[in-house]
Structure 1
């Protein structure tokens, strides 16, 4: 159950978030369309044309309508009146980022993963075997070459993710440093009495003093032998742990607020703390046990976590180092295309009973 706060990587039997998913998230649908004079952006000196952005928009719109139906545009407009401009900017950013990745891949000799490429191509082929999907795709004005280019982009991202992970393999020293920082974990429970109102505003000094007085009383009860779990269920205002008797499970350093962490890791097993004040309020803490993992048993998990974290940072550094420039005026000129705005009720297919009702009314 190793955790790193910044990257939010979890170990201990739980699947790691794959770097490939991060890279592929940037791929909306990037094809290698020829550049026109209407340059929307440049990445490391290479142009991205308005035609290319329009194609990406067509594909993105098609995917959204296929998944959510035509009523999606009515819903989006309700959330953001300028949703079309928002989408255009998102697509332009995505295309620019994927161009930065593919440019890096090309410079470092990273080729599309052939196994993944065949799988992506097979998925595209199967998708177009559905007559309804094929017709709706053809209406976009895109062709199968577009999908083939998309498959190559995704396969390249798979290869690039593996390349970055190998390049990011942690050293023995990095592993040992990480172990020293994260090998000790605490298992604790707490009772929280908040010092803010329902709107998150601090209580008045008088009311805060009353909360402190109550916290002191609960502490004395816990010290006298009253069951801590029952006290937590009855008094704790932490919605995440109160009903579990205040149980917080195991956690390492850097995962709790400083005041809480300092108190926990200075306590002895079985000890109950006096009320500790944090930004959330007063905590009465019970340290159940301190857990220290053996290096050899967690080495493989730590190596995977650190490799993943370093690879993510390297991927971000590729974007940061890329010379990306966007022509906002030309982006505004990019056509979003027509959308059929329907309500959810209008988009639903008619039921047989509805048809009979309509026919009956016509006869009248």
Structure 2
């Protein structure tokens, strides 16, 4: 099960005002345009409400156990999301990208119905979520949709570009591997001494395979790649650009049925077996390649937009904000301690006929 803190930060929502506010109380500036502290606090309220709707009011007790500093982690993540939203809104404004009208109408219609439900409205009111803030979120979401469509259209390849991409990627391999990791449980590289031990084991496994050992069996017993180990090391079919460079170069150089010597990468030592090689026909993979290339180019374009923006964050303005008060449940141990103190108190009371000096000594104890 995922840690709850990871879930919270992963789904953080970061809507910002479409209209610009004053820079006086800004928690960040994106290309000179501010993100107001009030907007930041509205985002925290919205994220708090969303998490409690999904996991219940006591979710924060569990999150705090995983990370006592969770509020700062979530605040940093929400601010990052708001910065990304402001980058998109700035780009949308420059390129005259308007909100997706159909989505905006549907959102406002649904919001109207939701606010008419007394129970649901009460949950908004409880966390201080105003109708204005919710409409702001809906408007921004509609702009985001329009932005996504705009960028995807801009990234769509021409027929010539698609043909060129096909020529570079028409060959695929169906391969399996055994991975012996050279990183520890935290992901840090092992010492050179330990790496040498791993390499020695990899060489021993390769020797067994050359002498006829079953690849799938050894993969299940030895591979550190949980995603493929239980499938006998099978990775299925993949094209170029999908694996790390060292792995890819060897995999595409092998013949069908051939097994490689241990190959070093950032993950460890791989022993690779090519099960078969596949060359697809253009018409069979055209749509798949078009989608793949469009997605890659969309990500590149978004990255370019992000990198061209100037961002200033003022974390000092949010460090003292607390968006949730964690109510700790009374445990059995707490009750036991309380009962014990109560008993001690009664015992002390029974001795209250002693002098004030004696009482002072008792307090000192």
Task: Please tell me whether the aligned partners of residues 219 and 274 of structure 1 are also in contact (alpha carbons under 8 angstroms).
Answer: no
**Partners of 2:309 and 2:199 in 1: CA distance:** 55
Shift of the 255–122 alpha-carbon distance from structure 1 to 2, 3 Å rule, reads: same
Q: Deviations over 1:220-241 (max 9, x none)?
A: 432xxx7655666677676554
Is the aligned partner of 1:265 residue 2:252? yes
Q: Which stretch of the first structure deviates more once superposed, 102-111 or 77-86?
A: 77-86
Q: Which stretch of the first structure deviates more once superposed, 25-34 or 298-307?
A: 25-34
Question: 1:215 — aligned with what?
Answer: 205
Deviation at 1:151, TM superposition (A): 0.8
Deviation at 1:170, TM superposition (A): 1.8
Residue among 106, 112, 122 paired with 1:135:
122
Q: Deviations over 1:78-97 (max 9, x none)?
A: 23333333333333332232
- TM-score of the superposed pair, with normalisation by structure 2: 0.72
Is the aligned partner of 1:112 residue 2:102? no
**Partners of 1:29 and 1:259 in 2: CA distance:** 41
Question: 1:249 — aligned with what?
Answer: 236
Question: 2:335 — aligned with what?
Answer: none
Q: Pairwise mapping of residues 27-46 of structure 1 onto structure 2 (< 5 A)?
A: 27-31=13-17, 35=21, 37-46=24-33
Question: 1:76 — aligned with what?
Answer: 63
Residue among 262, 286, 289 paired with 1:302:
289
Question: 2:82 — aligned with what?
Answer: 95
The CA RMSD measured in Å over matched residues stands at 3.6
**Partners of 1:70 and 1:120 in 2: CA distance:** 26
Shift of the 244–120 alpha-carbon distance from structure 1 to 2, 3 Å rule, reads: same
Question: 1:328 — aligned with what?
Answer: 315
Paired residue secondary structure (1:186): strand
Question: 1:20 — aligned with what?
Answer: none
Q: Pairwise mapping of residues 62-73 of structure 1 onto structure 2 (< 5 A)?
A: 62-73=49-60
Paired residue secondary structure (2:211): helix
Question: 1:59 — aligned with what?
Answer: 46
**Structure 1 segments unaligned to the other structure (5+ residues):** 1-23, 346-364
**Partners of 2:292 and 2:63 in 1: CA distance:** 37
Q: Deviations over 1:294-350 (max 9, x none)?
A: 1222222212221122122222222222232223333335x43453525499xxxxx
Task: Please tell me whether the aligned partners of residues 196 and 202 of structure 1 are also in contact (alpha carbons under 8 angstroms).
Answer: no
Deviation at 1:111, TM superposition (A): 0.9
Deviation at 1:269, TM superposition (A): 2.7
Task: Please tell me whether the aligned partners of residues 168 and 307 of structure 1 are also in contact (alpha carbons under 8 angstroms).
Answer: yes
Shift of the 164–263 alpha-carbon distance from structure 1 to 2, 3 Å rule, reads: closer
Shift of the 121–231 alpha-carbon distance from structure 1 to 2, 3 Å rule, reads: same
Task: Please tell me whether the aligned partners of residues 57 and 336 of structure 1 are also in contact (alpha carbons under 8 angstroms).
Answer: no
Task: Please tell me whether the aligned partners of residues 250 and 260 of structure 2 are also in contact (alpha carbons under 8 angstroms).
Answer: no
Q: Which stretch of the first structure deviates more once superposed, 172-181 or 255-264?
A: 255-264
Q: Deviations over 1:160-195 (max 9, x none)?
A: 110111111223443233223321111234556x48
**Structure 2 segments unaligned to the other structure (5+ residues):** 1-9, 332-365
Give the total of aligned pairs.
Answer: 316
- TM-score of the superposed pair, with normalisation by structure 1: 0.72
Shift of the 269–161 alpha-carbon distance from structure 1 to 2, 3 Å rule, reads: same
Structure of greater relative contact order (alpha carbons < 8 Å, 6+ residues apart): 1
Q: Deviations over 1:9-51 (max 9, x none)?
A: xxxxxxxxxxxxxxx9774333458845323222222232222
**Partners of 1:337 and 1:211 in 2: CA distance:** 52
